[in-house]
């Protein structure tokens, strides 16, 4: 009798274990892992480690580590500072997601790029800020992609916020490219704010560039301010995943 009782009592426990195991794949899918991740938590030196894949970025022309949004961050002079790796592990000729905390110290006219990936002539994408004479006279957060690796590429569609950008405060920017849908999306502080259509895919040969972009084969669009916690993800992070990612950073 005792052994029967034992098995009767054990059965619900076994079922609940099975239920936990059945839930495990969903939990993993909701927690995507970046292919590259620069925490920018160093306290000095001229290198920034990639905690996901070891693609160390080298600092150029004097960016400095200091207090950031999550641990330390890199601050750029907006003149010639940037950090760059030789390569990245996330392909960008298909779906991808890029995220970064940015703090814009000065709202300059034109493009200011916080994160990009180098082609030979231009950046594959640009995540940052724009002020222009057309639709962004007050300034806007910006995610755009070049349709080809050329000196004067067509940037046919860009995803840009219509809200005036804030300066001197930390903002969480996420750019998503859904290749199947041919869409670019921009998220600001976890909320989708803009979208555009990207028709042409190409794979850049270079690495990440933090604090600027590449235009006509030369460094361009220097970021005046700080950048923290840069991530590249393979594939599309959906709005729930991006909201969760945003909320995963404790309030300062």
Binding site for Ca ion (CB under 5 A): 39-41, 61-62, 68, 70-71, 77, 80-81, 228-229
Q: Distance between alpha carbon 160 and the CA centroid of its chain, in Å?
A: 15
> Could you give the angle at the alpha carbon of 189 between the alpha carbons of 181 and 85, nearest 5°?
75
Question: Taking Cα atoms as reference points, which of 136, 129, 76, 82 lies closest to residue 107?
Answer: 129
Shortest separation between residue 135's beta carbon and Ca ion, angstroms: 31
Extract the tokens encoding 134.
């057309």
Shortest separation between residue 181's beta carbon and Ca ion, angstroms: 32
User: CB-wise, 17 or 67, nearer to Ca ion?
Assistant: 67
Q: Which residues pair with 231 in a beta bridge?
A: 37, 99
User: CB-wise, 12 or 252, nearer to Ca ion?
Assistant: 252
Shortest separation between residue 101's beta carbon and Ca ion, angstroms: 8
Are 192 and 239 a contacting pair, CB within 8 Å? yes
Shortest separation between residue 252's beta carbon and Ca ion, angstroms: 12
Strands ordered across the beta sheet of 123-131: 47-48, 57-60, 82-84, 208-210, 110-118, 123-131, 140-145, 158-160
């Amino acid at each position: 009798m005792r052994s029967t009782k034992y098995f009767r009592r054990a059965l619900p426990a076994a079922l609940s274990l099975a239920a936990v195991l059945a839930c495990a794949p969903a939990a993993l899918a909701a927690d995507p892992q970046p292919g590259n991740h620069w925490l920018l938590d160093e306290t000095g030196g001229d290198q920034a480690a990639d905690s996901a894949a070891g693609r160390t970025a080298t600092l150029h022309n004097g960016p400095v580590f200091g207090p950031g949004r999550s641990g330390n961050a890199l601050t750029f002079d907006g003149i010639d500072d940037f950090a760059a790796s030789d390569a990245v592990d996330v392909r960008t000729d298909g779906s991808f997601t890029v995220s970064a905390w940015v703090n814009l110290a000065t709202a300059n006219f034109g493009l200011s790029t916080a994160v990009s990936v180098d082609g030979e002539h231009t950046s594959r994408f640009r995540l940052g800020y724009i002020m222009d004479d057309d639709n962004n006279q007050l300034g806007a957060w910006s995610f755009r992609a070049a349709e080809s690796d050329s000196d004067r590429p067509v940037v046919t569609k860009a995803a840009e916020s219509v809200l005036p950008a804030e300066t001197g405060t930390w903002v969480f920017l996420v750019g998503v490219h859904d290749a199947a849908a041919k869409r670019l999306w921009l998220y600001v502080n976890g909320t989708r704010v803009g979208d555009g259509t990207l028709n042409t895919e190409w794979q850049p040969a270079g690495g990440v560039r933090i604090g600027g972009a590449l235009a006509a084969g030369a460094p361009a669009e220097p970021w005046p301010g700080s950048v923290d916690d840069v991530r590249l993800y393979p594939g599309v992070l959906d709005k729930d995943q991006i909201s969760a990612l945003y909320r995963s950073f404790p309030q300062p």
